Structure 1
Amino acid sequence: MATFHKAFQVFSSTENSNSIRMPQKHLETTLYMYQVHTLASNLEKYSADPAKVCAQYPWATRFAMGHPLAPWQRPAVWTDEQKVKFITSIWMGADLGSYLVNDWYEYADQAGAFAINSEVLLDGQQRLTALEEYLLGRFGVPDASGQVRFWSELGNEERQRFLNMPFAQARVSSSDEVTLRQAYDLRAFGGTPHSEDQRASS
Protein backbone atom coordinates (compact mmCIF):
# COMPACT_ATOMS: atom_id res chain seq x y z
CA MET A 1 0.00 0.00 0.00
CA ALA A 2 1.44 3.36 -1.02
CA THR A 3 2.41 5.85 1.67
CA PHE A 4 1.64 9.46 0.94
CA HIS A 5 3.81 12.25 2.29
CA LYS A 6 3.31 15.95 2.50
CA ALA A 7 4.61 17.72 -0.59
CA PHE A 8 8.11 19.15 -0.22
CA GLN A 9 8.49 22.93 -0.17
CA VAL A 10 11.81 24.74 -0.57
CA PHE A 11 10.63 27.60 1.63
CA SER A 12 8.11 27.51 4.44
CA SER A 13 4.67 28.96 3.87
CA THR A 14 4.42 29.85 7.56
CA GLU A 15 6.55 32.10 9.71
CA ASN A 16 9.20 30.03 11.50
CA SER A 17 11.16 30.97 14.57
CA ASN A 18 14.13 33.19 13.81
CA SER A 19 15.91 31.88 16.91
CA ILE A 20 16.97 28.65 15.22
CA ARG A 21 20.58 28.66 14.00
CA MET A 22 22.10 25.66 12.24
CA PRO A 23 25.88 24.90 12.25
CA GLN A 24 28.02 27.60 10.66
CA LYS A 25 31.19 27.15 8.61
CA HIS A 26 34.41 28.03 10.37
CA LEU A 27 36.49 28.63 7.26
CA GLU A 28 35.77 29.92 3.78
CA THR A 29 36.69 27.31 1.20
CA THR A 30 37.71 28.10 -2.38
CA LEU A 31 37.79 25.41 -5.04
CA TYR A 32 40.28 25.43 -7.90
CA MET A 33 39.79 23.14 -10.90
CA TYR A 34 43.32 21.86 -11.36
CA GLN A 35 44.70 18.72 -12.98
CA VAL A 36 46.91 15.88 -11.75
CA HIS A 37 49.74 17.74 -13.50
CA THR A 38 49.65 20.41 -10.76
CA LEU A 39 50.50 17.81 -8.13
CA ALA A 40 53.09 16.13 -10.34
CA SER A 41 54.88 19.46 -10.82
CA ASN A 42 54.85 19.95 -7.05
CA LEU A 43 56.39 16.50 -6.54
CA GLU A 44 59.03 17.20 -9.19
CA LYS A 45 59.99 20.39 -7.36
CA TYR A 46 60.11 18.58 -4.01
CA SER A 47 62.16 15.62 -5.28
CA ALA A 48 64.75 17.96 -6.83
CA ASP A 49 65.84 19.06 -3.35
CA PRO A 50 63.99 17.29 -0.49
CA ALA A 51 66.40 18.62 2.14
CA LYS A 52 65.60 22.21 1.21
CA VAL A 53 61.86 21.61 1.41
CA CYS A 54 62.18 19.79 4.74
CA ALA A 55 64.16 22.73 6.10
CA GLN A 56 61.31 25.05 5.12
CA TYR A 57 58.82 22.90 7.06
CA PRO A 58 60.87 21.55 10.03
CA TRP A 59 57.70 20.62 11.92
CA ALA A 60 56.32 18.41 9.14
CA THR A 61 56.40 14.72 9.97
CA ARG A 62 55.85 13.65 6.36
CA PHE A 63 55.10 15.00 2.90
CA ALA A 64 52.60 13.90 0.22
CA MET A 65 53.22 15.11 -3.35
CA GLY A 66 55.42 17.83 -1.82
CA HIS A 67 52.72 19.07 0.57
CA PRO A 68 53.67 19.08 4.29
CA LEU A 69 51.62 17.08 6.78
CA ALA A 70 51.07 18.24 10.34
CA PRO A 71 52.26 16.12 13.30
CA TRP A 72 48.67 15.71 14.47
CA GLN A 73 47.51 13.94 11.29
CA ARG A 74 47.15 10.18 11.07
CA PRO A 75 49.70 8.11 9.11
CA ALA A 76 49.19 6.65 5.65
CA VAL A 77 46.87 3.66 6.06
CA TRP A 78 45.74 2.63 2.58
CA THR A 79 46.42 -0.93 1.49
CA ASP A 80 48.18 -1.75 -1.78
CA GLU A 81 44.79 -2.74 -3.22
CA GLN A 82 43.28 0.63 -2.36
CA LYS A 83 46.22 2.44 -3.95
CA VAL A 84 45.90 0.46 -7.18
CA LYS A 85 42.16 1.10 -7.30
CA PHE A 86 42.65 4.82 -6.86
CA ILE A 87 45.28 5.10 -9.59
CA THR A 88 43.11 3.00 -11.90
CA SER A 89 40.21 5.36 -11.22
CA ILE A 90 42.39 8.27 -12.38
CA TRP A 91 43.21 6.47 -15.62
CA MET A 92 39.50 5.79 -16.16
CA GLY A 93 38.51 9.42 -15.65
CA ALA A 94 36.59 9.00 -12.39
CA ASP A 95 35.64 11.96 -10.22
CA LEU A 96 38.52 12.27 -7.72
CA GLY A 97 36.86 14.77 -5.43
CA SER A 98 39.20 17.42 -4.04
CA TYR A 99 42.15 17.61 -1.69
CA LEU A 100 42.30 20.37 0.90
CA VAL A 101 45.30 22.61 1.66
CA ASN A 102 45.83 25.54 4.01
CA ASP A 103 46.59 28.55 1.84
CA TRP A 104 48.35 30.38 4.66
CA TYR A 105 51.99 30.73 5.60
CA GLU A 106 54.17 32.74 7.93
CA TYR A 107 57.93 32.79 8.34
CA ALA A 108 59.12 31.46 11.67
CA ASP A 109 62.74 32.61 11.40
CA GLN A 110 65.15 34.51 9.19
CA ALA A 111 66.46 31.29 7.68
CA GLY A 112 63.23 30.89 5.71
CA ALA A 113 61.48 28.20 7.77
CA PHE A 114 57.70 28.42 7.83
CA ALA A 115 55.55 28.43 10.97
CA ILE A 116 53.68 25.25 11.85
CA ASN A 117 50.58 24.54 9.73
CA SER A 118 51.82 26.75 6.87
CA GLU A 119 50.51 25.31 3.57
CA VAL A 120 49.64 22.05 5.32
CA LEU A 121 47.65 19.34 3.53
CA LEU A 122 44.43 18.91 5.52
CA ASP A 123 42.63 16.29 3.47
CA GLY A 124 43.72 13.93 0.71
CA GLN A 125 46.77 12.35 2.32
CA GLN A 126 45.84 8.78 1.34
CA ARG A 127 45.11 9.71 -2.28
CA LEU A 128 48.17 11.93 -2.69
CA THR A 129 50.43 9.36 -1.04
CA ALA A 130 49.14 6.70 -3.44
CA LEU A 131 49.72 9.05 -6.37
CA GLU A 132 53.26 9.83 -5.21
CA GLU A 133 54.16 6.17 -4.78
CA TYR A 134 52.80 5.36 -8.23
CA LEU A 135 54.70 8.16 -9.96
CA LEU A 136 57.89 7.14 -8.14
CA GLY A 137 57.51 3.57 -9.38
CA ARG A 138 56.76 1.84 -6.09
CA PHE A 139 53.83 -0.04 -7.60
CA GLY A 140 52.17 -0.50 -10.97
CA VAL A 141 48.59 -0.86 -12.19
CA PRO A 142 47.06 -3.11 -14.85
CA ASP A 143 46.90 -1.75 -18.39
CA ALA A 144 43.95 -2.28 -20.77
CA SER A 145 45.03 -5.90 -21.31
CA GLY A 146 45.50 -6.63 -17.61
CA GLN A 147 49.31 -6.51 -17.55
CA VAL A 148 50.77 -4.56 -14.65
CA ARG A 149 52.58 -1.46 -15.88
CA PHE A 150 54.78 1.05 -14.07
CA TRP A 151 54.95 4.79 -14.70
CA SER A 152 58.51 4.46 -16.03
CA GLU A 153 57.28 2.17 -18.83
CA LEU A 154 54.80 4.66 -20.25
CA GLY A 155 55.32 6.91 -23.23
CA ASN A 156 54.70 10.64 -23.02
CA GLU A 157 51.31 10.42 -24.77
CA GLU A 158 49.87 8.19 -22.03
CA ARG A 159 51.63 10.17 -19.33
CA GLN A 160 50.07 13.36 -20.65
CA ARG A 161 46.62 11.79 -20.67
CA PHE A 162 47.03 10.81 -17.02
CA LEU A 163 48.40 14.20 -16.00
CA ASN A 164 45.51 16.00 -17.72
CA MET A 165 42.89 14.28 -15.55
CA PRO A 166 41.00 16.77 -13.33
CA PHE A 167 41.84 16.79 -9.62
CA ALA A 168 40.39 19.79 -7.80
CA GLN A 169 42.22 21.60 -5.02
CA ALA A 170 40.21 23.14 -2.18
CA ARG A 171 41.82 25.88 -0.08
CA VAL A 172 41.20 27.40 3.30
CA SER A 173 43.37 30.02 5.00
CA SER A 174 43.98 30.05 8.74
CA SER A 175 46.77 30.24 11.32
CA ASP A 176 44.48 28.85 14.03
CA GLU A 177 45.34 25.21 14.68
CA VAL A 178 42.07 24.50 16.51
CA THR A 179 40.10 25.62 13.45
CA LEU A 180 42.36 23.63 11.11
CA ARG A 181 41.94 20.52 13.23
CA GLN A 182 38.17 20.97 13.03
CA ALA A 183 38.38 21.26 9.24
CA TYR A 184 40.51 18.10 9.16
CA ASP A 185 38.04 16.17 11.31
CA LEU A 186 35.08 17.36 9.25
CA ARG A 187 36.62 15.96 6.07
CA ALA A 188 38.18 12.84 7.60
CA PHE A 189 35.29 11.47 9.63
CA GLY A 190 32.30 12.08 7.38
CA GLY A 191 32.09 8.83 5.44
CA THR A 192 30.91 5.28 6.18
CA PRO A 193 32.89 2.47 4.48
CA HIS A 194 30.89 0.15 2.23
CA SER A 195 30.68 -3.55 3.04
CA GLU A 196 31.46 -6.18 0.42
CA ASP A 197 27.79 -7.19 0.04
CA GLN A 198 27.01 -3.58 -1.02
CA ARG A 199 29.23 -3.79 -4.10
CA ALA A 200 27.26 -2.76 -7.20
CA SER A 201 29.36 -4.72 -9.72
CA SER A 202 30.83 -8.20 -9.65
Structure 2
Amino acid sequence: MSTTFQRHADEETSDSGIQMPQRILDIATHQYSIDILARRFEEYQANPSATHDQYPWAARFVMGFPVSSWQRELAWNVGQKSRFIFAVWAGADLGSYLTNDWSGSASDRTALVENSDILIDGQQRLHSLEQYFLDQLAVPDVQGMPRVWSEIGNGERKRFLSTIFPHSSVSSDDEMALRRTYDLCALGVVPRTHDQRAAR
Protein backbone atom coordinates (compact mmCIF):
# COMPACT_ATOMS: atom_id res chain seq x y z
CA MET A 1 0.00 0.00 0.00
CA SER A 2 1.38 3.39 -1.03
CA THR A 3 2.21 6.02 1.57
CA THR A 4 2.47 8.75 -1.08
CA PHE A 5 -0.69 10.42 -2.36
CA GLN A 6 -1.38 10.09 -6.08
CA ARG A 7 -4.42 11.66 -7.73
CA HIS A 8 -4.54 8.94 -10.37
CA ALA A 9 -3.99 5.24 -9.80
CA ASP A 10 -1.00 3.33 -11.09
CA GLU A 11 -2.69 0.79 -13.37
CA GLU A 12 -0.23 -1.91 -12.38
CA THR A 13 -1.19 -1.77 -8.70
CA SER A 14 -4.85 -0.70 -8.80
CA ASP A 15 -7.88 -2.95 -9.08
CA SER A 16 -10.29 -1.62 -11.73
CA GLY A 17 -12.95 -4.02 -10.43
CA ILE A 18 -13.35 -2.17 -7.13
CA GLN A 19 -16.46 0.01 -7.00
CA MET A 20 -17.10 2.57 -4.29
CA PRO A 21 -20.50 3.81 -3.03
CA GLN A 22 -22.61 5.70 -5.57
CA ARG A 23 -24.54 8.94 -5.13
CA ILE A 24 -28.03 8.36 -3.84
CA LEU A 25 -29.44 11.54 -5.40
CA ASP A 26 -27.91 14.39 -7.38
CA ILE A 27 -27.66 17.54 -5.29
CA ALA A 28 -27.65 21.11 -6.62
CA THR A 29 -26.43 23.97 -4.42
CA HIS A 30 -27.20 27.69 -4.73
CA GLN A 31 -25.69 30.61 -2.82
CA TYR A 32 -28.78 32.27 -1.36
CA SER A 33 -29.05 34.81 1.44
CA ILE A 34 -31.02 34.32 4.64
CA ASP A 35 -33.44 36.90 3.25
CA ILE A 36 -34.82 34.19 0.91
CA LEU A 37 -35.70 32.12 3.98
CA ALA A 38 -37.14 35.15 5.76
CA ARG A 39 -39.44 35.90 2.81
CA ARG A 40 -40.68 32.32 2.77
CA PHE A 41 -41.33 32.52 6.51
CA GLU A 42 -43.25 35.79 6.06
CA GLU A 43 -45.46 34.13 3.45
CA TYR A 44 -46.06 31.18 5.75
CA GLN A 45 -46.92 33.46 8.69
CA ALA A 46 -49.38 35.43 6.53
CA ASN A 47 -51.49 32.33 5.83
CA PRO A 48 -50.36 29.20 7.70
CA SER A 49 -53.64 27.36 7.11
CA ALA A 50 -53.14 27.51 3.33
CA THR A 51 -49.68 25.97 3.76
CA HIS A 52 -51.08 23.27 6.05
CA ASP A 53 -53.74 22.50 3.44
CA GLN A 54 -51.05 22.19 0.77
CA TYR A 55 -49.00 19.75 2.89
CA PRO A 56 -51.58 17.88 5.04
CA TRP A 57 -49.11 15.03 5.64
CA ALA A 58 -46.42 17.23 7.22
CA ALA A 59 -45.44 16.43 10.81
CA ARG A 60 -44.58 20.10 11.41
CA PHE A 61 -43.29 23.20 9.62
CA VAL A 62 -39.97 24.97 10.04
CA MET A 63 -39.55 28.41 8.41
CA GLY A 64 -42.54 27.46 6.24
CA PHE A 65 -40.98 24.20 4.99
CA PRO A 66 -42.89 20.96 5.61
CA VAL A 67 -41.01 18.35 7.65
CA SER A 68 -41.81 14.68 7.15
CA SER A 69 -42.83 12.32 9.95
CA TRP A 70 -39.72 10.16 9.47
CA GLN A 71 -37.32 12.90 10.55
CA ARG A 72 -36.12 13.34 14.11
CA GLU A 73 -37.78 15.80 16.44
CA LEU A 74 -36.32 19.20 17.23
CA ALA A 75 -33.33 18.53 19.46
CA TRP A 76 -31.18 21.64 19.91
CA ASN A 77 -31.20 23.35 23.29
CA VAL A 78 -31.25 27.13 23.79
CA GLY A 79 -27.46 27.32 23.94
CA GLN A 80 -27.03 25.52 20.62
CA LYS A 81 -29.63 27.72 18.95
CA SER A 82 -28.05 30.90 20.31
CA ARG A 83 -24.60 29.79 19.15
CA PHE A 84 -25.94 29.26 15.64
CA ILE A 85 -27.49 32.75 15.52
CA PHE A 86 -24.25 34.19 16.91
CA ALA A 87 -22.39 32.35 14.12
CA VAL A 88 -24.62 34.06 11.55
CA TRP A 89 -23.81 37.48 13.01
CA ALA A 90 -20.11 36.62 13.20
CA GLY A 91 -19.92 35.54 9.56
CA ALA A 92 -19.11 31.87 10.19
CA ASP A 93 -19.65 29.14 7.61
CA LEU A 94 -23.24 27.98 8.10
CA GLY A 95 -23.05 24.83 5.98
CA SER A 96 -26.18 24.40 3.86
CA TYR A 97 -29.76 23.28 4.28
CA LEU A 98 -31.23 20.62 2.01
CA THR A 99 -34.72 20.38 0.54
CA ASN A 100 -36.52 18.12 -1.92
CA ASP A 101 -37.78 20.28 -4.78
CA TRP A 102 -39.90 17.50 -6.27
CA SER A 103 -43.62 18.26 -6.13
CA GLY A 104 -46.44 16.17 -7.48
CA SER A 105 -50.13 16.94 -7.25
CA ALA A 106 -52.34 14.68 -5.21
CA SER A 107 -55.57 13.41 -6.75
CA ASP A 108 -57.63 16.28 -5.30
CA ARG A 109 -55.15 18.81 -6.81
CA THR A 110 -55.31 21.04 -3.71
CA ALA A 111 -52.48 19.28 -1.90
CA LEU A 112 -49.02 18.17 -2.92
CA VAL A 113 -48.11 14.51 -2.60
CA GLU A 114 -46.06 13.37 0.37
CA ASN A 115 -42.40 14.43 0.54
CA SER A 116 -42.90 17.34 -1.87
CA ASP A 117 -40.85 20.43 -0.97
CA ILE A 118 -39.70 18.90 2.35
CA LEU A 119 -36.81 20.15 4.43
CA ILE A 120 -34.40 17.19 4.58
CA ASP A 121 -31.44 18.65 6.46
CA GLY A 122 -31.01 21.88 8.42
CA GLN A 123 -34.11 21.60 10.60
CA GLN A 124 -32.29 22.59 13.81
CA ARG A 125 -30.60 25.61 12.18
CA LEU A 126 -33.75 26.82 10.44
CA HIS A 127 -35.77 26.39 13.62
CA SER A 128 -33.18 28.54 15.42
CA LEU A 129 -33.73 31.27 12.80
CA GLU A 130 -37.50 30.94 13.18
CA GLN A 131 -37.34 31.35 16.96
CA TYR A 132 -34.97 34.28 16.61
CA PHE A 133 -37.28 36.05 14.15
CA LEU A 134 -40.20 35.48 16.54
CA ASP A 135 -38.29 36.99 19.51
CA GLN A 136 -38.18 33.60 21.23
CA LEU A 137 -34.39 33.60 21.27
CA ALA A 138 -31.96 36.31 22.38
CA VAL A 139 -28.34 36.73 21.28
CA PRO A 140 -25.81 39.04 22.96
CA ASP A 141 -24.84 42.28 21.23
CA VAL A 142 -21.25 43.58 21.27
CA GLN A 143 -21.74 44.82 24.86
CA GLY A 144 -22.97 41.38 25.93
CA MET A 145 -26.61 42.44 26.33
CA PRO A 146 -29.11 39.78 25.15
CA ARG A 147 -31.07 41.15 22.18
CA VAL A 148 -34.12 39.82 20.35
CA TRP A 149 -34.83 40.48 16.67
CA SER A 150 -37.45 43.20 17.22
CA GLU A 151 -34.93 45.37 19.12
CA ILE A 152 -32.46 45.51 16.23
CA GLY A 153 -32.45 48.37 13.73
CA ASN A 154 -32.87 47.97 9.98
CA GLY A 155 -29.18 48.43 9.17
CA GLU A 156 -28.17 45.50 11.33
CA ARG A 157 -31.16 43.45 10.14
CA LYS A 158 -30.09 43.94 6.52
CA ARG A 159 -26.58 42.77 7.38
CA PHE A 160 -27.99 39.62 9.03
CA LEU A 161 -30.45 38.91 6.20
CA SER A 162 -27.77 39.36 3.53
CA THR A 163 -25.66 36.55 5.05
CA ILE A 164 -25.22 33.68 2.60
CA PHE A 165 -26.79 30.40 3.76
CA PRO A 166 -26.41 27.97 0.84
CA HIS A 167 -29.53 26.07 -0.24
CA SER A 168 -28.95 22.55 -1.55
CA SER A 169 -31.73 20.61 -3.21
CA VAL A 170 -32.62 17.24 -4.66
CA SER A 171 -35.63 16.32 -6.76
CA SER A 172 -37.09 12.89 -6.09
CA ASP A 173 -40.33 11.04 -5.43
CA ASP A 174 -38.37 8.03 -4.10
CA GLU A 175 -39.01 8.12 -0.35
CA MET A 176 -36.36 5.50 0.46
CA ALA A 177 -33.72 7.51 -1.44
CA LEU A 178 -34.81 10.63 0.48
CA ARG A 179 -34.61 8.74 3.78
CA ARG A 180 -31.12 7.45 2.97
CA THR A 181 -30.02 10.96 1.98
CA TYR A 182 -31.40 12.27 5.27
CA ASP A 183 -29.49 9.61 7.22
CA LEU A 184 -26.24 10.49 5.47
CA CYS A 185 -26.51 14.23 6.10
CA ALA A 186 -25.20 14.22 9.68
CA LEU A 187 -22.92 11.18 9.62
CA GLY A 188 -19.76 13.27 9.45
CA VAL A 189 -20.82 15.71 12.17
CA VAL A 190 -23.24 14.30 14.71
CA PRO A 191 -24.21 10.76 13.73
CA ARG A 192 -27.86 9.99 14.25
CA THR A 193 -28.56 7.17 16.66
CA HIS A 194 -30.26 4.11 15.21
CA ASP A 195 -33.69 5.24 16.49
CA GLN A 196 -33.22 8.67 14.82
CA ARG A 197 -32.48 7.23 11.39
CA ALA A 198 -35.21 7.29 8.77
CA ALA A 199 -34.00 4.35 6.65
CA ARG A 200 -33.63 1.47 9.07
TM-score, normalised to structure 2's length? Answer: 0.91
Give the secondary structure class of the aligned counterpart of 2:181: helix
Q: What does residue 28 of structure 1 align with?
A: 26
Q: 1:7 aligns with which of 4, 7, 16?
A: 4
Give the secondary structure class of the aligned counterpart of 2:53: helix
- CA distance in 1: counterparts of 2:89 and 2:28, whole angstroms: 26
Question: Considering only aligned residues, what root-mean-square deviation do their CA atoms show, in Å?
Answer: 1.3
Q: What does residue 110 of structure 2 align with?
A: 112
Give the secondary structure class of the aligned counterpart of 1:24: coil
Question: Offset at 1:192?
Answer: 4.3
Q: 1:96 aligns with which of 94, 97, 113?
A: 94
Q: What does residue 43 of structure 1 align with?
A: 41
Question: Offset at 1:14?
Answer: 3.2
Shift of the 111–17 alpha-carbon distance from structure 1 to 2, 3 Å rule, reads closer
- CA distance in 1: counterparts of 2:66 and 2:42, whole angstroms: 15
- CA distance in 2: counterparts of 1:98 and 1:141, whole angstroms: 21
Q: What does residue 181 of structure 1 align with?
A: 179
Where structure 2 has 5 or more consecutive residues not aligned to the other structure, the ranges are 192-200
* Equivalent residue pairs, number: 189
- CA distance in 2: counterparts of 1:177 and 1:123, whole angstroms: 15
**How is 1:68-87 mapped onto 2 (pairs within 5 angstroms)?**
68-87=66-85
Q: Letter of the aligned partner of 2:9 in structure 1?
A: S
Q: Deviation per CA, 1:92-127, whole angstroms, max 9, x where unpaired? A: 000000000001001113351010000000000000
Percent identity over paired residues: 47
Question: Offset at 1:7?
Answer: 2.5
Q: Letter of the aligned partner of 1:146 in structure 2?
A: G
Point out the structure with max Rg over C-alpha. 1
- CA distance in 2: counterparts of 1:159 and 1:9, whole angstroms: 48
Give the secondary structure class of the aligned counterpart of 2:184: helix
Question: Offset at 1:11?
Answer: 1.4
Give the secondary structure class of the aligned counterpart of 1:178: helix
Give the secondary structure class of the aligned counterpart of 1:44: helix
- CA distance in 1: counterparts of 2:9 and 2:177, whole angstroms: 33
Question: Offset at 1:140?
Answer: 1.0
Q: 1:56 aligns with which of 54, 57, 60?
A: 54
User: In the alignment, is residue 154 of structure 1 matched against residue 139 of structure 2?
Assistant: no
Give the secondary structure class of the aligned counterpart of 2:81: helix
Which contiguous aligned blocks of 4+ residues in structure 1 show a shift greater than 6 angstroms? none
TM-score, normalised to structure 1's length? Answer: 0.90
Q: 1:166 aligns with which of 164, 173, 183?
A: 164
Question: Offset at 1:139?
Answer: 1.5
Question: Offset at 1:9?
Answer: 1.5
Where structure 1 has 5 or more consecutive residues not aligned to the other structure, the ranges are 194-202
Q: Letter of the aligned partner of 2:120 in structure 1?
A: L
